[in-house]
Amino acid sequence: MGQNSSKPPPSSTQHVFTSESPVNFSPDLINALQASPETDSTRSKDLELHIQQRVHSELARLDAEQSKRLSELQEQISASPDSTTESIHPDARTPDQSSSSGGVDHKAAAEGDRLRDLSRQSVQKEIDMLKEKLKRRKMKEEVVQDKAIEKAKGEIVKCLRLNDRRPLDCWREVEAFKEEVGRLERNFLGKVMD
C-alpha cells in the first residue's frame, strides 16, 4: 500500500506531433540555425537587459517628472500668500488685493511678505499664551507638595519594610495610595477642563 503512485509514469519525455503534410526546411535555414552563436540563455539575457533598460528609462522619466512637479509646487508655494493666514485673518486683505485682479509683481510679493509676518506674529502669540498656561499649572510642584500623597507613599514604604517577605500584605496601603493619586488626577483634570 502506498508504494505505487496513482499516476502512471510518462512513457517518454518527448512529444511527437504528426502532420498531414510533410514539413520541409531549406538547408540554408538549417545551416543558419546551427551556425548561430545565440543560445536560449543568451536570448534570455538579452531580453532581461532590454527589460532593465526600459525600466531604467521609465524610472528616469518618472523621476524627472516628479522633480519638475516638485519645483513647480515649491515656486507656487513661495509665490502665493500664506493661505492659513487668510483663513485666520480674512479681514487682513488690503483694498488693492481685493479690488484689483492684476498688479505689479513686487506689490504682490510685498503683500505676501506682510501676510507671512502676520502669520508669524499670530503663531508667536499662541506660543506665548501656551507658555503662560504651563507656568500657571506647575504640576510637578503640586505633586511633590501634596502631603496626602507623601503620607500614603510613606505608609507603603513602611509596610513593605515590615513585610519584606510578604509584600502582598500591604494591599490596604496600596489602595489608599491609589485613591490619593486618583484624587490628584481629578483635581488636575478639573483645572485643565476649566
Measured between alpha carbons, how far is 121 from 109 in angstroms, rounded to an integer? 18
Q: What is the pTM of this model?
A: 0.29
Cell numbers at 3, concatenated: 508504494
CA distance 153 to 173: 8
| Best mean pLDDT range from 129-133, 150-154, 165-169, 172-176 | 172-176
Phi, psi of 93 (to 5 degrees): -75, 145
Task: Give residues with Cβ within 8 angstroms of 16, minimum separation 6.
Answer: none
The answer to whether the CB of 82 falls within 8 A of the CB of 116 is yes
Q: pLDDT for 56-115, tens place per residue? A: 999 999 999 999 999 988 888 887 665 444 444 444 444 444 444 445 566 667 777 766
CA distances from 15 to 7, 8, 18, 19, 65 (A): 18, 17, 10, 13, 52
